[in-house]
C-alpha cells in the first residue's frame, strides 16, 4: 500500500504556520504509468487536490522570485534572439550571477519564431553556427551560412536552455516602462543606469485609460537592452535615453543591407551610457545601422558580445564599489 502523502499547507490565517494535510491512501492514485500505458483509462483518476494548493504553489514561487530578483546582478530587457543569446552566454559563464530577463510579451522569443515573410527556415551566417552547435540545434551547412529547418526549433531550444539555468528568472508579460538612474557627472548624459522600472504589460498598455497604476522596480548595476528595432514596444531603452536627454538623438534604422548590417550590429554592441549595454536590432536605432532582414547570425553574436561587455562593466563596478 503506498504510504500516506503529506503536503505542506500554509493556512493564510496562521501564516507563517506550516500545517500538513494527509491525503489518505485510498484517495491516492495507485494507477502506475504501466496501467495507463495498458489503456486502463476507464477508472483513471488523478490524486485528489485542493484548488488553493495550486494557487499557493504558483503565488509562493512568483513572489519569492520577485523578492529574490528585486536586487539582480544583471537585467536583460527583451527576450528576443539577442536577449536570449545574451542570457545563455551570461548564465553559462557566471552561474554565480542573478540574471533577470524582462519580456513584455506573454510569449518570449521576439521575432525569432519564423524566418522571413513567415517562412519557417532560419538563416544564420557563420560563425553563428558555433552557437547552434553549443546549444544542440541541428542545421544544414550551406558554406558561408547555415539553415535551421524551423526558426522555432532554434528559439524553443535556446529558451529551454536559458530557463533551465537556476540563476536566471524570466519575468514575461512584464514591461520595462522606465529606467532607474543615478546622477553621474562623469557620464556624457550625466546619468548612470542602475536598474529598471517594471509593470505588467497589460497595465503598461492602459496607463491612458486608467487612474495612475504605479510600477515596481529591479535594481541592478548592469542592464542589457535588446528590445528590437522601432515598433510599439521596440527600441524602448534608447528612446527613453533620448527623452531623458541622456542621449542626444537616435540615428534611426537604415534600409536593408545584409552585409553592412550584420557586421555593424556585432561590432557596435556596447555600453551606450554607463550601466546600459545595447545589442541586437535596438542598436540599429542608436547608430543608424542598416537592417539585415531575415538573417539572425548577428543577433546571436551580438548577444555573445553583450554578455562579454556586461561582465566587464559588472566587474568594473564591483571594483569601484569596493574601493
Ligand atoms: O526579436 P526582437 O524584436 O529583437 P532582437 O534584437 O532580439 O532580434 C531582432 C531580430 O528578430 C530581427 O529583427 C531580424 C534579424 N530582422 C531584422 C530586420 O531587418 O528586420 O525582440 C525584442 C523583444 C521582444 O520580445 C519584445 O516584446 C521585447 O523585446 N520588448 C520589451 N520587453 C520588456 N520591456 C520593454 N519595454 C520591451 N520592449 C520590447
Residue 16 is predicted with a pLDDT of 40
Query: What's the CATH number for 74-112+167-322?
Result: 3.50.50.60
Who's near 251: CB < 8 A, 6+ residues apart? 284, 285, 286, 287, 288, 289
Residue 22 is predicted with a pLDDT of 47
For the segment 47-94, what is each residue's pLDDT rounded down to a tens digit? 999 999 999 999 999 999 999 999 999 999 999 999 999 999 999 999
Ligand 1 pocket: which of 85, 104, 287, 306 to mutate (most atoms <8 Å of CB)?
A: 104
Confidence of residue 137 (pLDDT cuts 50, 70, 90): very high
Position in ligand 1 atom list of the atom nearest CA 282: 6
Q: Is 296 in the pocket of ligand 1 (CB under 6 A)?
A: yes
CA of 140 to the centre of ligand 1 (A): 25
Neighbours of 188 (CB within 10 A): 12
Position in ligand 1 atom list of the atom nearest CA 295: 15
- DSSP string for 207-248: TTTSS----EEEE-SEEEE---SSSSSTTHHHHHHHHTTSSS
Higher pLDDT, 67 or 204: 67
Burial of 127 (0-12, 13-18, 19+ CB in 10 A): exposed
Q: Is 228 in the pocket of ligand 1 (CB under 6 A)?
A: yes
Take residue 276 and report the three cell numbers written for it.
546600459
CA of 225 to the centre of ligand 1 (A): 10
For the segment 90-113, what is each residue's pLDDT rounded down to a tens digit? 999 999 999 999 999 999 999 999
For the ranges 31-45, 120-134, 225-239, the one whose mean pLDDT is highest: 120-134
229 appears as a binding residue in the annotation: yes
Q: Mean pLDDT of all residues in the chain?
A: 90
In whole angstroms, give the CA distance from residue 38 to residue 125. Answer: 48
Higher pLDDT, 8 or 282: 282
Question: Which residue, by CA, sits nearest to atom 11 of ligand 1?
Answer: 111
Share of the chain above pLDDT 70, in %: 89
pLDDT over threshold 50, residue 20 = no
Instruction: Classify residue 143 by its DSSP letter.
Output: S
* C-alpha distances out from residue 161 to 44, 78, 85, 128, Å: 34, 16, 10, 17
30-44, 145-159, 190-204: which range is least confident on average?
30-44
Q: Is 299 in the pocket of ligand 1 (CB under 6 A)?
A: yes
292 appears as a binding residue in the annotation: yes
Q: Is 122 in the pocket of ligand 1 (CB under 6 A)?
A: no
pLDDT over threshold 50, residue 2 = no
pTM over 0.85: yes
Residue 219 is predicted with a pLDDT of 98
Q: Where are the domains of the chain?
A: 74-112+167-322
297 appears as a binding residue in the annotation: no
Q: Is 281 in the pocket of ligand 1 (CB under 6 A)?
A: yes
Question: Which residue, by CA, sits nearest to atom 39 of ligand 1?
Answer: 227
Please give the average per-residue pLDDT across 211-218, as a whole number: 94
Q: Is 275 in the pocket of ligand 1 (CB under 6 A)?
A: no
Amino acid at each position: 500500500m503506498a504510504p500516506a502523502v503529506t503536503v505542506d499547507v500554509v493556512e493564510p490565517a496562521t501564516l507563517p504556520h506550516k500545517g500538513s494535510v494527509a491525503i489518505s491512501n485510498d484517495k491516492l492514485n495507485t494507477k502506475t504509468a504501466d496501467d495507463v500505458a495498458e489503456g486502463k483509462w476507464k477508472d483513471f483518476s488523478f490524486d485528489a487536490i485542493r484548488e488553493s494548493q495550486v494557487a499557493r504553489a504558483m503565488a509562493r514561487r512568483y513572489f519569492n522570485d520577485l523578492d529574490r530578483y528585486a536586487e539582480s546582478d544583471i537585467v536583460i530587457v527583451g527576450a528576443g534572439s539577442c536577449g536570449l543569446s545574451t542570457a545563455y552566454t551570461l548564465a553559462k559563464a557566471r552561474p554565480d550571477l542573478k540574471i533577470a530577463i524582462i519580456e513584455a510579451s506573454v510569449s518570449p522569443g521576439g521575432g525569432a519564431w519564423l524566418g522571413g515573410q513567415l517562412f519557417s527556415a532560419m538563416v544564420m551566417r557563420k560563425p553563428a553556427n558555433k552557437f547552434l552547435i553549443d546549444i544542440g540545434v541541428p542545421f544544414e551547412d550551406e558554406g558561408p551560412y547555415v539553415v535551421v529547418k524551423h526558426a522555432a526549433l532554434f528559439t524553443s531550444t535556446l529558451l529551454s536552455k536559458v530557463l533551465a539555468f537556476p540563476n536566471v528568472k524570466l519575468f514575461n508579460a512584464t514591461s520595462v516602462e522606465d529606467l532607474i538612474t543615478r546622477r553621474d557627472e562623469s557620464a556624457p548624459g550625466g546619468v548612470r543606469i542602475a536598474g529598471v522600472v517594471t509593470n505588467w504589460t497589460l497595465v503598461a498598455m492602459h496607463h491612458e485609460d486608467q487612474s495612475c497604476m504605479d510600477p515596481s522596480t529591479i535594481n541592478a548595476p548592469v542592464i542589457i537592452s535588446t528590445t528590437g528595432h522601432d515598433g510599439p514596444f521596440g527600441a524602448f531603452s534608447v528612446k527613453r535615453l533620448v527623452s531623458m536627454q541622456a542621449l542626444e538623438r537616435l540615428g534611426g534604422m537604415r534600409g536593408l543591407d545584409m552585409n553592412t548590417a550584420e557586421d555593424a550590429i556585432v561590432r557596435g554592441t556596447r555600453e551606450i551610457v554607463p550601466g546600459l549595454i545595447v545589442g541586437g536590432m535596438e542598436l540599429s536605432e542608436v547608430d543608424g545601422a542598416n537592417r539585415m532582414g531575415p538573417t539572425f547570425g548577428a543577433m546571436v553574436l551580438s548577444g555573445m558580445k553583450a554578455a562579454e561587455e556586461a561582465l566587464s562593466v559588472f566587474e568594473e563596478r564591483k571594483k569601484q564599489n569596493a574601493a
